[in-house]
Amino acid sequence: MPLRVAVVTESFLPSLNGVTNSVVRVLESLKADGHDALVLAPTSNSAEFLGFKVIRISRFYVKQFAVALPHLRLEAILREFNPDVVHVAAPFAFGRQAIRVAHRMGVPAIAIYQTDIAGYAQRYGLPGLRPIIDRMIGAIHRRATVNLAPTAEGADYLRKIGAKGVAVWGRGVDLEAYNPQKRELVASTGYRKRLGAHDHIIVGFVGRLAAEKQVERLAELFGIPNVSFLIVGDGPERENLKKLFRYQKVEFTGRLVGPELANAYASMDIFVHCGTEETFGQTIQEAQASGLPVVAPARGGPRFIIRSGHNGFLVNPDEPNAYRQVVIELINNPELRKTIGSNARTGVIDKSWSSNNAQLFDHYLNAIKIKNEDRVA
């Protein structure tokens, strides 16, 4: 049954982040399966995407983050489109408005919890805002018909703040783009050649270069013999990080997408992620699909992606040199790197975006059923 889906998102192209990535993948699936969609987003620079109409929403910035403003004509726009379901990605001010409008229209709203806003506030020196933010997030999600979180921890948080219809919906990964077979193709070219790192171990990171990602923790690895660094991404901390790494063998690639990003993963030997406020960790899953051993903190989303010692390693981020100890172990044991990387790839084989979004479609149908039952009651 073809559906009409209004996708309301707090982030969209050209901005690249976890929210944008999942929204793009959802739209690709909707297109492939013959559904219709309308996109309302604060950062789009195009009037259409994949043939779907995109309506650009005004925004302002807080600490480098775009915040979408409520739209005066949102209800009129949604009524004209007449959606079967409203998909709200990472709702905040604009998403809250969309959920309320959907409620008035009698249309089910699915709210996707993706960003630990309270955790980010603490990271940016505003810890006192946490209770206020929790109340705001609770008020937003309590009005949604169905609430989806990427992990069991996120689902527990939503239930704690009063959300209903809570379920876990993870994230998919492009198994063709991120593939261990590409490692042989780039073994002696590309980044390894530019770094002059033919005999080096390349430690990589992919993500936004911002305070909450804690990329500076990679400094724990300085001084380990024959290690080079590949830092993929851009953001407000880029210049500070370049100064920090100025005496290291390193390449800052800037933001990469598509085949260039896949080649960057294929050039790495070990992937290290240091951020402790992740609700999921999409780049971790991409690294795993690429057959890389991953080292990440035992906080937040990584705990639900990594079985420490099997398909990666989890470390206590409060311990000094925690990352260094595990990376040295991986460097000194090539067979361990190979085994962990192989297990990582095997662990994501059933997490393609097509299978992941098939689950999302089931949640759409469930939300429609719940709303219809509410009308009868």
Check whether residue 205 and residue 131 sit in a common domain. no
Check whether residue 276 and residue 311 sit in a common domain. yes
- In a domain, residue 177? The reply is no
Check whether residue 46 and residue 159 sit in a common domain. yes
Distance between CA 296 and CA 261 in Å, rounded? 20
Distance between CA 196 and CA 46 in Å, rounded? 40
- In a domain, residue 93? The reply is yes
Tell me: pLDDT of 261 over 90.
yes
Long-range contacts for 124-131 (Cβ within 8 Å, ≥24 apart)? 124/63, 124/211, 124/212
Check whether residue 301 and residue 364 sit in a common domain. no
Check whether residue 113 and residue 203 sit in a common domain. no
> Which domain range does residue 36 map to?
4-172+352-376
Q: pLDDT tens-digit profile of 212-259?
A: 899 999 999 999 999 999 999 999 999 999 999 999 999 999 999 999
Q: pLDDT tens-digit profile of 41-50?
A: 987 677 999 9
Distance between CA 159 and CA 142 in Å, rounded? 9
What pLDDT is attached to residue 191? Answer: 87
Q: Are 121 and 137 in contact (CB under 8 A)?
A: no
Q: Which of 32-36, 125-129, 161-165 has the lowest mean pLDDT?
A: 125-129
Nearest C-alpha neighbor of 26 from the set 112, 142, 147, 107? 112
Tell me: pLDDT of 62 over 70.
no
Q: Are 272 and 218 in contact (CB under 8 A)?
A: yes
* 85 beta partners: 5
- In a domain, residue 43? The reply is yes
Check whether residue 148 and residue 44 sit in a common domain. yes
Q: What CATH number corresponds to the domain at position 50?
A: 3.40.50.2000
Check whether residue 22 and residue 128 sit in a common domain. yes
The end-to-end CA distance of the chain, in Å, is 25
- In a domain, residue 221? The reply is yes
Check whether residue 79 and residue 205 sit in a common domain. no
Radius of gyration for the alpha carbons in the chain, expressed in angstroms and rounded:
21
Check whether residue 125 and residue 259 sit in a common domain. no
- In a domain, residue 120? The reply is yes
Structurally, the chain folds into a number of domains equal to: 2
Check whether residue 186 and residue 154 sit in a common domain. no
Q: pLDDT tens-digit profile of 299-308?
A: 999 999 999 9
- In a domain, residue 200? The reply is yes
Q: Are 298 and 308 in contact (CB under 8 A)?
A: yes
Long-range contacts for 160-169 (Cβ within 8 Å, ≥24 apart)? 161/134, 161/135, 161/137, 162/138, 163/111, 163/138, 165/367, 165/370, 167/363, 169/112, 169/356, 169/359, 169/360, 169/363
Chain mean pLDDT for the chain: 92
pTM of the predicted model as reported, rounded to 2 decimal places: 0.91
Tell me: pLDDT of 269 over 80.
yes
Check whether residue 156 and residue 300 sit in a common domain. no
Check whether residue 214 and residue 320 sit in a common domain. yes
